[in-house]
Amino acid sequence: MEHNYPIKRIIDDKGFFVDADYEEQIDEQLVKELYYHMLRIRTFDRKAINLQRQGRLGTYAPFEGQEAAQVGSALALNDNDWVFPTYRDHGATLTFGKSMATTFLYWNGRAEGCIAPADRQIFPPAVPIATQIPHAAGAAWAEKKRGTKNAAIAYFGDGATSEGDFHEGLNFASVFKVPVVFFNQNNGYAISVPIEKQMNSKTIAQKSVAYGMPGIRIDGNDCFAVYFETKKAFDNARSGNGPTLIEAVTWRKGAHTTADDPSKYRTEERAKDFVDPLLRLEFFMKNYGYYDDAWIQAINEKTTREVEAAVEEMEKFPPPNVEDVFDHVYAEMPAQLAKQKEAYLAHLGRK
Amino acid sequence: MEHNYPIKRIIDDKGFFVDADYEEQIDEQLVKELYYHMLRIRTFDRKAINLQRQGRLGTYAPFEGQEAAQVGSALALNDNDWVFPTYRDHGATLTFGKSMATTFLYWNGRAEGCIAPADRQIFPPAVPIATQIPHAAGAAWAEKKRGTKNAAIAYFGDGATSEGDFHEGLNFASVFKVPVVFFNQNNGYAISVPIEKQMNSKTIAQKSVAYGMPGIRIDGNDCFAVYFETKKAFDNARSGNGPTLIEAVTWRKGAHTTADDPSKYRTEERAKDFVDPLLRLEFFMKNYGYYDDAWIQAINEKTTREVEAAVEEMEKFPPPNVEDVFDHVYAEMPAQLAKQKEAYLAHLGRK
Amino acid sequence: MTQVKESHQKSETAKQMTLIQAINDAMRLMLEEDDRTVILGEDIGKNGGVFRATDGLQEVFGEERVVDTPLSEAGIIGTSVGLAVNGFRPVAEIQFLGFIYPAYEQIMTHVSRIRMRSMSRFTVPMVIRAPYGAGIRAPEIHSDSTETLFTHMPGIKVVCPSSPYDAKGLLIAAMEDPDPVLVLEPMKNYRSKREEVPVGKYTVEIGKGKLVREGADVTLIAWGAMVSIAEKAAEQAEKKGISCEIIDLRTLYPIDSEMIAESVKKTTRAVIIHEAHHTGGLGNDIISIINDTAFLYLRAPIERITGFDVPVPFFSLEEHYLPTPERVVEGIEKVLHF
Amino acid sequence: MTQVKESHQKSETAKQMTLIQAINDAMRLMLEEDDRTVILGEDIGKNGGVFRATDGLQEVFGEERVVDTPLSEAGIIGTSVGLAVNGFRPVAEIQFLGFIYPAYEQIMTHVSRIRMRSMSRFTVPMVIRAPYGAGIRAPEIHSDSTETLFTHMPGIKVVCPSSPYDAKGLLIAAMEDPDPVLVLEPMKNYRSKREEVPVGKYTVEIGKGKLVREGADVTLIAWGAMVSIAEKAAEQAEKKGISCEIIDLRTLYPIDSEMIAESVKKTTRAVIIHEAHHTGGLGNDIISIINDTAFLYLRAPIERITGFDVPVPFFSLEEHYLPTPERVVEGIEKVLHF
Ligand SMILES: Cc1ncc(C[n+]2csc(CCOP(=O)(O)OP(=O)(O)O)c2C)c(N)n1
Ligand SMILES: Cc1ncc(C[n+]2csc(CCOP(=O)(O)OP(=O)(O)O)c2C)c(N)n1
Ligand SMILES: [Mg+2]
Ligand SMILES: [Mg+2]
């Protein structure tokens, strides 16, 4: 089976083209956009880990190593598309348009952290694994019913493929042929459980066969492969040809979350298979004349400033509002709940 | 994909060999055993429908048309294997050794109807669709852990493949390589929903790919194909090679249950593709010199008598015991429940 | 989007309907009125539902609006969440309440929580309909009455009509509600009686009980199929000179605490009847409400006549599980002669 | 079958342990003693569990007995049913109670019902362990306290230890029970204190509460992480001259009704504390028990200090969701000055 799903690459580990077909489609703008966003989210990610260590952020789920997968896929979206991320996909949502400060707030236990700008349809990150997959199918179904060209993307990990919701979501999407892309980041582990213990299939892409759905396997650390293959899947979806399952093979460089210690369950053996996606793009830029020291310096400074400003915004954000505990449960508060709220505010000496 | 899963047949619709390899393996004993059991369960099935119409049985789920699938697979089992049937697989469980009277009791709303003889491990029929699939994987896992050669079989329908439990059960079975056979009867419909609306895949067999598990597609109305392929899958399982998914393509001749009216949702168009499995075996018996009028007459009479006796047994069975409402919830009855029981028995004027 | 293909002439203003017809009528009406309405579930399209709740709807409104889904409860509810946040108003049928559990995570974690998690940016105005309850000799596991698994879940509402009129009015109210509503339909009542039901659109307010019988000595509180048990018990009690007041709760969350409090303050005694298990049943919530609101009025411990703490038995024994008028009368006498 | 590879020398008879260590110790002991014990769940093997509950067990007992499973709660519980009916005694870990819902159907329909459906031919002696509760600044949806979704389910038992001693004793009792037991482990208490725990095997009887403080004026009833809230409240109340009795319920089904009744008959007043939502919380069951058993003794309506009818909020607001000693003291004063 595995041979039916070779890993699609556009550039190799040293940043040289392996698929020359793409030479024409890759221009400076694209290269710089990919690099910029990857650098930007990495800066964010490292800062977040730092803040967590300093006690300025709650438990945090880092994505280092998965930047190409997240940025490449997010840049393939249209503005009106729907995004259903997990707790590890803030690299993708930051790229799609969620703000950094908002994202920090999420990791500080603030519901405000779930809210993307009004012109970006980004769902709150899925915490219970795989549950967002049917949501994405449903949102895409709505677009189809309305006859738009919008589509949806569901992000999920290798572990998520073991849940019933993965199966039911993909089945619905294929039966109703809805415009959705199932974007799997196979980062080798679900917390401590390696993919060989998660499934007996050699690839995740082949799971598409169960749904009569196209499935492809790509090098998730090759930002070009991610970008172009995701775009293709979206084109297909927008043309009414239904969903695609994409397996982006990548690697979680750090811990599952800041509360996790990967040395308990993995050696860094397999890490050697993965060249850092940013470094790889740098190789490419050097190989093909896109490398520009001054520009890199400039965006480095810019993103650092952006992250610092976001930290400040997060830390200056008004403290959480007790009323919010009660106010977003129903459109109209039931009497019982109103009484609970009133009593509690009275207890706090308010109202 | 479909071409990877051709429908395996041993005899054709007219009862001629299409796979001559089996000529040697098929002897009179096997032919007669298959015929006998198919006839026997059909007699049961038709009687049950009749009883239901007369108000002597509750809602009943008939299996006519699926006799080859149920008998062929049940005869492939060893006595110590575990069977996890659905509400439609009493043809299989009758063949494996559950009694007719017990089976009638089940359809008369009696818990006693769930209980097979002590030397047959037959689970109560699964009512919530697909939930038995992980059970079968678990029971098989136990056999593996004990190092026996016993295996388990899970019966389920085409509709069941849409449930999360199907997916999770097959994944577990493949990851832990347990000795279980997943025996799907694709009878074309889940109540009113045809397979084309149930899934976008053209076959159920191909769903095995998702689990790196062998999957085969067989003519479920060819009792020989069912028998030999199920046996093969069991041999494989007993040898430590893990699970197999078998899709037996068949046809539900009658209604979903006696409460259902299939004319609301299907024409008998597709029925034409399916030669009655008993008739087909008769053709075969005539073609190859196994047909024996007197024997058929004799087993007809025998099964009719057996069914009549079972009806009598069912109808003479002691009435249900009120205590049973309370007595099988816990090994030791909690005080609260004991009080409820006591109060209720007092209310009935007992004790 | 599929357009309404037929328009229904309505000459009369009310019609005799069973509860199931009233349910059908409500959906038909809303499919006509609101393009965002999508009905989905197992066997609800071509087959018109195993109880015929959706009979004829797919013929009129087409396969895009009345959708036969795969056999997949988490899929049905999960995609409904996606449809609802993206502008539709799905009405999902779960074939029997006993088969809702595969969708439990979607309901518990998402249907009920998305408004809160997104601070009202995303909402899921959807309806889940589910036939429930014992007493129709259905095969095992078809007869659960597990309403408290949902009333304990902040973010959704739960209604349970006992009559055709309330069924139509509550279902329409549910379909217009900005928040998710679970509509529990007592199977036992689907065809048990007909009554006059307005042909046009009306709603029954969610959160309001109904006084179905006035009385002085004791308050009976029931819902769904248990309302008629309460009524029969009240008739029997009347012969013994006991005057029962009956509240049909109709909405199980949020409960009409006021109606309960007022009635119990008047009668000073209460008997609660439900077919759900005793432990963890809604009866406990009602006792708490009375504890909170009418403590000093109560002259006797409240009685609960309920299903037992056992799985709903196979149908040959279900009559012994379900509350009967006789058990209720015993309860009434107990609170009166405390 | 894998044999125990190491034997543990025990010189001392008791050891200072945290609750999580006590849990670990119970499993280690039973893995040693009973070959049928199999521990399974997500990340419980090599990683030793996200809270380290199974730390070191796979090393000692091997991958056949301490099993890392796929990320699949229905698979974990569903295969455990198969293991249990076929002679094993699985102990399944659900990583957080908030993630148990995908397995809800398996628990509700099978774990709890197989004994009844097979008239005791098949039984499922299995344990489900789940960390639960708020207050540790966990990411959202990790903090549910939904015990009544399980206490309402006939056929299983539910226990909830608050201390290391009880944790070990109850878990061993659960592992030896012929029926399925859900063990709820208050995350907040995992490492909050150490106490002397016997090194050998012992059990704490399922179904029995514990009087953790004797008092005269009011009975406080709590379990899990709320026991220490009750204790703090009792201390504050004492300063105001109020004497509180505290019951740690320990088992949530079947509840120790006798202990509750006895205490309330003595104190004549009760305050119940739980972190689950108000509506449908176990508090209601307890009120009903008091209604049934101590009606005439009660001098004031029972107070419930609970989580609100809202999803457990994100951690920045969780302190406003959880009962506090101050809220409990208010409740105590309310029942005293009724
Ligand atoms: C239903 C459910 N079960 C368990 C968990 C606990 N959990 C959080 S993340 C995780 C691993 C997820 O692995 P994968 O899908 O590969 O995504 P990754 O974390 O690698 O991005 C687990 C088990 C959960 N969040 N939801
Ligand atoms: C979880 C669940 N959902 C719905 C049902 C109602 N139901 C009973 S049988 C059935 C169709 C099953 O179809 P299939 O799996 O193809 O088996 P068949 O009846 O054809 O043998 C449905 C939807 C159920 N029993 N369980
Ligand atoms: Mg992963
Ligand atoms: Mg079928």
**Ligand 1 contacts CB of residue A43 (under 6 A):** no
Cβ pairs B/D, distance under 8 A: 141
Q: Which of B109, A259, A335 is nearest to C135 (CA)?
A: B109
Does the distance separating the beta carbons of B199 and A174 come in below 8 Å? Answer: yes
Specify whether B347 is catalytic: no
Share of chain B above pLDDT 90, in %: 96
Does the distance separating the beta carbons of D310 and A329 come in below 8 Å? Answer: yes
HEC string of A223-243 equals HHHHHHHHHHHHHHHHHHHCC
Looking up residue D264, the CATH number of its domain turns out to be 3.40.50.920
Q: What is residue A103's predicted lDDT score, i.e. its pLDDT? A: 98
Question: Which pLDDT band, with edges at 50, 70 and 90, does A40 fall under?
Answer: very high
Task: Return d(Cα C174, Cα C183) in angstroms, integer.
Answer: 8
Q: In angstroms, what is the span from residue B191 Cα to ligand 2's centroid?
A: 7
Residues of chain C positioned with their CB less than 8 A from the CB of A115 = 118-119, 121
Q: Which residues pair with B249 in a beta bridge?
A: B186, B219
Could you tell me if C160 and C70 lie in one domain? yes
Across D270-292, b (16+ Cβ under 10 Å) vs e yields bbbbbbbbbbbbbbbbbbbbbbb
**Cβ A109 vs Cβ D137: under 8 Å:** yes
Q: CB count, 10 Å around CB of A324? A: 19
Q: In angstroms, what is the span from residue A87 Cα to ligand 3's centroid?
A: 12
Pocket of ligand 2 (CB under 6 A): B 88, 127-129, 157-160, 187, 189-191, 252, 256; C 42, 71, 73, 95, 99, 102
Task: Return d(Cα B24, Cα D238) in angstroms, integer.
Answer: 90
Q: Is B165 on the interface with D (CB under 8 A)?
A: yes
Q: Which residue has the higher pLDDT, A209 or B350?
A: A209
Helix, strand, coil content of chain B in percent (nearest 5) = 50, 10, 40
CA-nearest residue for atom 26, ligand 1, is A128
pLDDT tens, chain C, 338 aa long: 333 333 344 457 999 999 999 999 999 999 999 999 999 999 999 999 999 999 999 999 999 999 999 999 999 999 999 999 999 999 999 999 999 999 999 999 999 999 999 999 999 999 999 999 999 999 999 999 999 999 999 999 999 999 999 999 999 999 999 999 999 999 999 999 999 999 999 999 999 999 999 999 999 999 999 999 999 999 999 999 999 999 999 999 999 999 999 999 999 999 999 999 999 999 999 999 999 999 999 999 999 999 999 999 999 999 999 999 999 999 999 999 99
Q: Is D225 on the interface with B (CB under 8 A)?
A: no
- Residue D156: CB partners within 8 Å, gap ≥ 6? D107, D111, D112, D150, D179, D180, D181, D182, D253
Architecture of the domain delimited by A2-320: 3-Layer(aba) Sandwich (3.40)
> How far is C-alpha C143 from the chain's CA centre?
14
**Does residue D7 belong to any structural domain of this protein?**
no
Domain endpoint, select from D204, D228, D246? D204
For residue A208, report the phi and psi dihedrals to the nearest 5 degrees. Answer: -60, -30
Could you tell me if C292 and C164 lie in one domain? no
The structural domain count of chain C equals 2
If you measure CA to CA, which chain B residue comes closest to D251? B334
Task: Return d(Cα A342, Cα A323) in angstroms, integer.
Answer: 10
Q: Which residues pair with B218 in a beta bridge?
A: B8, B248
Q: Which residues pair with A152 in a beta bridge?
A: A82, A180
DSSP element (H, E) containing C29: helix C19-33
Q: Does position D8 have pLDDT exceeding 80, yes or no? A: no
Terminal Cα distance for chain C, rounded: 63
Distances (CA, A) of D212 to B49, D14, D245: 62, 21, 8
Could you tell me if D41 and D148 lie in one domain? yes
Could you tell me if D176 and D267 lie in one domain? no
Share of chain A above pLDDT 70, in %: 100
**Cβ B326 vs Cβ C310: under 8 Å:** yes
Q: Does position A18 have pLDDT exceeding 90, yes or no? A: yes
Could you tell me if C239 and C285 lie in one domain? yes
**Does residue C2 belong to any structural domain of this protein?**
no
CA-nearest residue for atom 13, ligand 2, is B190
DSSP element (H, E) containing B303: helix B293-316
| CB-count burial class (<10 Å; 0-12, 13-18, 19+) for D105 | buried
Q: Which of B215, B285, B230, B184 is nearest to B72 (CA)?
A: B230
**Does residue D9 belong to any structural domain of this protein?**
no
Mean pLDDT of chain C: 96
Mean pLDDT of chain A: 97
Could you tell me if C96 and C186 lie in one domain? yes
Could you tell me if C322 and C232 lie in one domain? yes
Could you tell me if C191 and C79 lie in one domain? yes
Question: Which pLDDT band, with edges at 50, 70 and 90, does D290 fall under?
Answer: very high
**Cβ A78 vs Cβ A339: under 8 Å:** no
Domain endpoint, select from C170, C204, C238? C204
Task: Return d(Cα B278, Cα B104) in angstroms, integer.
Answer: 23
Q: What is residue A2's predicted lDDT score, i.e. its pLDDT? A: 73
Name the residue ranges covered by the structural domains of chain A: 2-320, 321-351
Looking up residue D143, the CATH number of its domain turns out to be 3.40.50.970
Choose the residue to mutate in D94, D95, D128 for probing ligand 1, maximizing ligand atoms within 8 Å of C-beta: D95
**Does residue C18 belong to any structural domain of this protein?**
yes
pLDDT tens sequence across D120-169: 999 999 999 999 999 999 999 999 999 999 999 999 999 999 999 999 99
The residue-averaged pLDDT of B13-36 equals: 96
Could you tell me if D224 and D200 lie in one domain? no
**Cβ D178 vs Cβ D196: under 8 Å:** no
pLDDT tens sequence across B132-188: 999 999 999 999 999 999 999 999 999 999 999 999 999 999 999 999 999 999 999
- The owner of tokens 């927008």 is A238
Q: Does position D3 have pLDDT exceeding 60, yes or no? A: no
Task: Tell me how close the Cα of A323 comes to any Cα of chain D, in angstroms.
Answer: 10
Q: Is A131 on the interface with C (CB under 8 A)?
A: yes
Mean pLDDT of chain D: 96
Could you tell me if D145 and D280 lie in one domain? no
pLDDT tens sequence across B237-248: 999 999 999 999
List, as own/partner pairs, every contact residues A16-20 make where C-beta atoms lie below 8 angstroms and the sequence separation is at least 24, other chains included. A16/A283, A16/A284, A16/A287
Task: Return d(Cα B325, Cα C281) in angstroms, integer.
Answer: 18
What ipTM score was computed for the predicted complex, to two decimals?
0.97
Q: What is residue B270's predicted lDDT score, i.e. its pLDDT? A: 84
Radius of gyration of chain C (CA): 20
Question: Which pLDDT band, with edges at 50, 70 and 90, does D1 fall under?
Answer: very low
| CB-count burial class (<10 Å; 0-12, 13-18, 19+) for A48 | buried
Distances (CA, A) of A299 to A36, A50, A104, A306, C97: 7, 21, 21, 10, 57
Task: Return d(Cα B212, Cα B210) in angstroms, integer.
Answer: 6
Q: Is C141 on the interface with B (CB under 8 A)?
A: yes
Write out the catalytic residue numbers of A: 252, 256, 265
Mean pLDDT of chain B: 97
**Ligand 1 contacts CB of residue A215 (under 6 A):** no
Would the CA dihedral through D69, D75, D81, D87 be positive or negative? Answer: negative
Domain endpoint, select from C204, C220, C240? C204
The parent domain of residue D71 ranges over: 14-204
Could you tell me if D200 and D216 lie in one domain? no
**Cβ C151 vs Cβ C253: under 8 Å:** yes
Could you tell me if C53 and C160 lie in one domain? yes
Q: What is residue B273's predicted lDDT score, i.e. its pLDDT? A: 86
pLDDT tens sequence across B275-306: 999 999 999 999 999 999 999 999 999 999 99
pLDDT tens sequence across D311-335: 999 999 999 999 999 999 999 999 9
Q: What is residue D12's predicted lDDT score, i.e. its pLDDT? A: 72
